[in-house]
Amino acid sequence: MAAMEYPHLQNEDTDLYDLIEGEEKRQREGLELIPSENYVSVAVREAMASALTNKYSEGYPGKRYYGGQEFTDQIELFAIERAKKIFGADHANVQPLGGASANIAAYFAWLEPGDTILGMDLAHGGHLTHGSPVTYMAKLFKFVRYGMKDPDTGEIDYDEMREIALKERPKIILGGFSGYSRSIDWAKISAIAQEVGAVAMADVAHIAGLIAGGAAENPFDHGFQIMTTTTHKTLRGPRGAMILSKGTVSTPLRAPEKTIDNLPTLIDRSVFPGFQGGPHMHQIAAKAVAFKEALDPSFKTYAHQVVANAKVMAEVFQEGGVRLIGGGTDNHLILADVFGSLGISGGEAETLLDTAGMTLNKNSIANDTRKPFDPSGIRFGTPAMTTRGFKEAEAKEVATIMLDVLKNRDEANALKAKGKIKELAEAHPVPESFI
Across 333-355, b (16+ Cβ under 10 Å) vs e yields bbbbbbbebbebbbbbbbebbeb
> Residue 203 catalytic?
yes
Catalytic hit among 82, 162, 233, 388: 233
Catalytic hit among 203, 268, 293, 330: 203
Cβ neighbors of 250 (< 8 A, separation 6 or more) are 194
The closest alpha carbon to 290, from 39, 73, 71, belongs to: 39
223/204 Cα distance (integer angstroms): 15
Distance of CA 142 to the CA centre of its chain: 24
Tell me, what amino acid is at 280? Answer: H
Residue 52: how many CB atoms within 10 A of its CB? Answer: 19
Catalytic hit among 72, 129, 230, 231: 230
Catalytic hit among 6, 17, 56, 158: 56
Catalytic hit among 21, 29, 58, 160: 58
> Residue 76 catalytic?
no
> Residue 388 catalytic?
no
φ, ψ of residue 379 to 5 degrees: the values are -120, 130
The closest alpha carbon to 356, from 392, 301, 406, belongs to: 406
Pairing of strands 116-120, 172-176: parallel
* Cβ atoms 225, 217 nearer than 8 A: no
Catalytic hit among 45, 84, 145, 239: 239
> Residue 233 catalytic?
yes
323/335 Cα distance (integer angstroms): 9
Inter-helix orientation angle 14-29/411-427, to 10°:
90
- Catalytic positions are 56, 58, 203, 230, 233, 239
